[in-house]
Amino acid sequence: MGWLTEWNRRRILAGNPVDEQTWRQASEGLSILNGLTETERRRLQEFAILFLSDKSMECAGGLHLTHPQRLRIALLACLPVLNLGLDWYDGWHAVIVYPDEFVTDHEEMDEAGVVHRIHEPRSGESWQHGPMIVTWAPIENPDLYPDHNLVIHECAHKLDTLNGAANGFPPLHRGMSAKEWADVFGEAFGDFQKRVDEDQETLIDPYGAEAPEEFFAVVSEVFFAAPWILKEEYPQVYEQLVLFYRQDPARRIAE
Ligand SMILES: [Zn+2]
């Protein structure tokens, strides 16, 4: 990090102090943050302040968010990049927050080349170079869907698209093997699709069977929110995500 960036960072942090009570409000009930060391928790808080200073957070659908509520979204958004760095979120600027599921209109081409107009309710969306869209209800009440985390899901898409279209293949770190990633994820995704097709009960959200990029986003949610499930179901995927996110949530929650 250059001296100017470091100077800017300090200036932003000094200009936006947050007291302990506000942090408590912001993280209330977020068991996903359990087990972070004091150093990690501090870094996450700093990232959250910097994230809010870098991105505009816009409310839609009549929603109003307080400062602790904005910090709550920022804390969740920064968790995946805690050991990567905030620059992994460069290149986009807005977070749009809806109160609850919103309806999107878009066009999709099917395999026969026919374009369909899609009008469907969604809880999150992430556009390459564009905004990240989330809904407040599941963020406010994480217990509603304990193994899920919408913000992490959309952030995983953001990381995935750093090296091109979303395909479940984010830029890997030096020392990681692209072949191993492709083999592990390819095999797990194939197995998961088969189980979902056969209507087998899965602890992982069947939405992950939609496409490789959704599988990556869904297993990223489970990795942080309920890591023991992913470790049990797809241990090799878990290991690849430990290498990618440079975190081991199962270990920190167990300790
Ligand atoms: Zn998705």
Written out in words, the top-level CATH class of the domain with range 1-139 is mainly alpha
* Parts of the chain belonging to CATH 3.40.390.10: 167-255
Q: What is the pLDDT of residue 118?
A: 58
Q: What is the pLDDT of residues 98-130, one digit of tens each?
A: 998 766 666 666 777 766 665 566 677 777 778
Measured in angstroms, how far is the CA atom of residue 237 from the centroid of ligand 1? 18
* Parts of the chain belonging to CATH 1.10.472.150: 1-139
Measured in angstroms, how far is the CA atom of residue 123 from the centroid of ligand 1? 9
Distances (CA, A) of 24 to 30, 105, 149, 196: 10, 38, 19, 39
Architecture in CATH for domain 167-255: 3-Layer(aba) Sandwich (3.40)
Distances (CA, A) of 135 to 3, 20, 95, 152, 153: 37, 26, 10, 12, 12
Q: What is the pLDDT of residues 18-27, one digit of tens each?
A: 999 999 999 9
Measured in angstroms, how far is the CA atom of residue 32 from the centroid of ligand 1? 19
Q: What is the pLDDT of residues 40-94, one digit of tens each?
A: 999 999 999 999 999 999 999 999 999 999 999 999 999 999 999 999 999 999 9
